[in-house]
Amino acid sequence: MMCGDEYRESLRRLKPEVYYLGEKIESVADHPAFIPHVNSVALTYDLARAPEFEELLTTKSHLTGEKINFFTHVHHSCHDLVRKVKSLRALGQQTGSCFARCVGHDALNAIYSVTYDLGKKNGTEYHQRLVNLLKEVQAKDLFLSGAMTDPKGDRSLSPSQQKDPDQHVHIVARKQDGIVVRGAKAHITGAVNAHGHLVMPTTSLKEADQDFAVCCYVPIDTPGVIHIFGRQTNDDRKCSGCLIDQGNPEYGIVGGEALIVFEDVFVPWEHVFMCGEYDFAFDLVERFATAHRQNYGGCKTGLADVLTGATYALAEVQGTVGASHVRDKLVEMVHLAETLYCCSIACSCQGYALPAGNFMADPLLANVTKLNVTRHVYELARLAQDIAGGMLATMPSESDWKNTSVGKYVDKYLKGVADVPAETRMRLLRLIEGMTCGTALVESMHGAGSPQAQKIMLMRRANWEHKKRLAQKLSGTGESRHD
């Protein structure tokens, strides 16, 4: 297993094509815009070597028997699923940010099971190819992104009906030694500081869409792969030299999402795991979505622990922690966070084995988990902002605080409790600002699928006929009155 510094060095050896604010970036590991994201992922390597986190973040490979980082593991029990949630919460507590590796982890688990099913039905070699890649990922401790979401173009049209077919990643050529793909993937977490991308379909497909039924692995510096890093709330603060104004200077606020363009990218057959099998696209989408939505009551609870702690500490600094209404709001923040955690634990405990032997969380409860996140995280942010007060949005900058002319006034008037430095209040406010304003909230809403996606899955999984029969039996109506 790698350590954090070895991970950084591995990035320096790669030469991906990355752009940020119109500039081509030479070293992702050393550019101030990306360093917090690199640090956050690096911690997943360092903590796996720390004795107090070893049980959560390491395991034994079912393929080789070797000790591996948990983020390269295929789950083989409900215990594994629960451990995943606990590890995500622990990492969220340590980073206060997104640590990105769960997406590729979920993709590996989903592709592992679907390629097995494909092989059983069609006699394909996809599963063995995936196993071979998994062995490499485990041996080298690679960090892969999970690239599912397409730009989509006109949302009322299927992929094959788009005026511009590149709105969905698709196969443009099948060759003797591999395929050529074109298109893009949007909002991809950890894209610029990953070692490679697991590309998956973004929706269920029909026969006319078979060229869009493609799943493959693409190393990050493959020719034709272009990364355009997305802007984030207050991201220019990373490059300003001000640490306090960043809020969380070491690990950032979110996962560093990017648009990935595939401009006629060649993929050898050994890295192709689906090529036209449109009838398996839905299974892959559902299994990935289930795994990723399972996560959110883990990582978001870890972040909520940090946010609640920052809000409590700020209330102490401001002299409001003793007020009953403030304490009531703090307790409500704890209640909301633990509710999310309960959902993730529940869907993990209700997990089950797939034909490939790996385990999937309960899809219904996983979608409930993510749907709750789209609401509870916003309420957590509202409560934190309520307690923080208006200074959260109007506080002078770190540069003003350091200014020889006006700094003394900033220092004087930003104090709360007399014996606590103004700097303490400023740091806590900036951390809360970063966690509750802008990009971080949007990620909670749309990461792992927007709320409507969860509602669609709940509609499919709710077992309406069973519920109706229960009511008919008790009310003495319908065909089931004598059951």
Cα separation, 328 vs 333, whole angstroms:
9
> Which residues are 144's β-sheet partners?
196
Sign of CA dihedral 55, 56, 60, 66: negative
Here the tokens at position 309 are 């702690």
Give the max Cα distance, the chain: 86
Cα angle value 87/88/89 (rounded, 5°): 90
Cα separation, 128 vs 115, whole angstroms:
8
Cα separation, 286 vs 202, whole angstroms:
10
Q: At what angle do helices 35-48 and 78-95 cross, to 10 degrees?
A: 130
Catalytic residue among 73, 126, 195, 257: 257
- Catalytic status, residue 98: yes
- Catalytic status, residue 286: no
C-alpha distance from residue 49 to each of 44, 79, 86, 89 (Å): 9, 21, 17, 18
Residue 297 CB burial class (10 angstroms; 0-12, 13-18, ≥19)? buried
- Catalytic status, residue 292: yes
State the pairing for strand pair 225-229/17-20.
Answer: parallel
Here the tokens at position 155 are 């949302």
Here the tokens at position 476 are 């003495």
- Catalytic status, residue 296: yes
C-alpha distance from residue 312 to each of 92, 186, 252, 277, 430 (Å): 18, 36, 21, 53, 14
- Catalytic status, residue 189: yes
Catalytic residue among 45, 296, 312, 341: 296
Q: Please give the distance of CA 251 from its chain centroid, rounded to a whole number.
A: 15
> Which residues are 197's β-sheet partners?
145, 218
Tell me which residue of 428, 444, 302 sits closest to 376, measured CA to CA.
444
Q: Residue 207's CB: how many other CB atoms inside 10 A?
A: 10
Catalytic residue among 292, 301, 341, 343: 292
199: DSSP letter? E
Q: Residue 442's CB: how many other CB atoms inside 10 A?
A: 14
- Catalytic status, residue 433: no
Catalytic residue among 102, 215, 216, 343: 102
- 287 with 361: CB under 8 angstroms? no
Q: Which residues contact 338 (CB under 8 A, 6 or more apart)?
A: 301
Here the tokens at position 34 are 């990306």
Catalytic residue among 277, 286, 433, 443: 443
- 200 with 273: CB under 8 angstroms? no
Here the tokens at position 384 are 């934190």
Catalytic residue among 299, 376, 398, 439: 299
Here the tokens at position 473 are 């039996």
Catalytic residue among 44, 58, 72, 189: 189
3-state secondary structure (DSSP) of residue 83: helix
Show which residues are catalytic.
98, 102, 189, 257, 292, 296, 299, 443
